[in-house]
Structure 1
């Protein structure tokens, strides 16, 4: 059975995509710790971080870095944080989020009541920052599509 992330990637469940390439996608979490909180997810179903081969880990790290730079530009944060936990979905993913301090980087700070319009607006800010940084070819044409641009 496919994971919820695979279902999002395949368009069976809606997603807010900001990045797509042949190896990975990036989409908004529905429970952000901070505005602009994104998930970097491989297209392949890899159960957890330690199961991934080195090339995949390296690719995801580079994508996370570019998304983090876009988040800093879009939200004015001094840092971009990367968290790897993987307890909520058994499909490797990196949490990348704008960060102002270490105290706020806790999953119990996640907000589960963010209106769809706010999630859309935050994703659009990251999408625009990625375009401005020269990554327009990796930004899907539509927010709700994981198709390569």
Structure 2
């Protein structure tokens, strides 16, 4: 069965996509820790990030860097934190999280509940920053 992320890739499930290439996709987390919290995934469905082949893994990080720079240019933050947990969805992914303090990356804390309109607006700003 395809992961939820594979279903986003195939557009079976909508997402607020901020960047896409032939091999990778970046979209906003719908339950973000902070505004601009973005997931970056390879389009190849592999459960565990360290089971990715070297080329895909390095490409994922290069793609994530481009996305992080876009996020950083439109979200007020000290930097973009990066984390890999990989337990919640069986599809390799990284979290890019705008942070001002270490606690901003605490997955145990209450998540934000942005509206669809707020997510769409944030996604559009990030997308424009990446493509400018």
Query: In which range does the TM-score fall when normalised by the shorter chain?
Result: over 0.9
DSSP-derived class of the 1:108 partner: coil
Deviation at 1:113, TM superposition (A): 2.5
DSSP-derived class of the 2:118 partner: helix
DSSP-derived class of the 1:35 partner: coil
Check the 8 A contact 1:64/1:82 in 2, yes or no.
no
Partner of 2:78: 78
| Alpha-carbon separation, structure 2, partners of 1:120 and 1:107 | 23
Tell me if 1:113 matches 2:113.
yes
Check the 8 A contact 1:71/1:77 in 2, yes or no.
no
Stretches of 4+ aligned residues off by more than 4 angstroms: none
| Alpha-carbon separation, structure 1, partners of 2:109 and 2:31 | 9
Q: TM-score, normalised by structure 2?
A: 0.94
Q: What does 1:50-129 correspond to in 2, within 5 Å?
A: 50-109=50-109, 111=111, 113-129=113-129
| Alpha-carbon separation, structure 2, partners of 1:117 and 1:111 | 17
Cα 1:113–1:41 shift into 2, 3 Å: same
DSSP-derived class of the 2:39 partner: strand
Query: What stretches of structure 2 of length at least 5 have no aligned partner?
Result: none
Deviation at 1:112, TM superposition (A): 5.3
Partner of 1:138: none
User: After the TM superposition, which of the residue ranges 100-109 and 59-68 deviates more from structure 2?
Assistant: 100-109
Deviation at 1:50, TM superposition (A): 1.4
Measured on the aligned residues, the alpha-carbon RMSD in Å equals: 1.2
| Alpha-carbon separation, structure 1, partners of 2:110 and 2:24 | 24
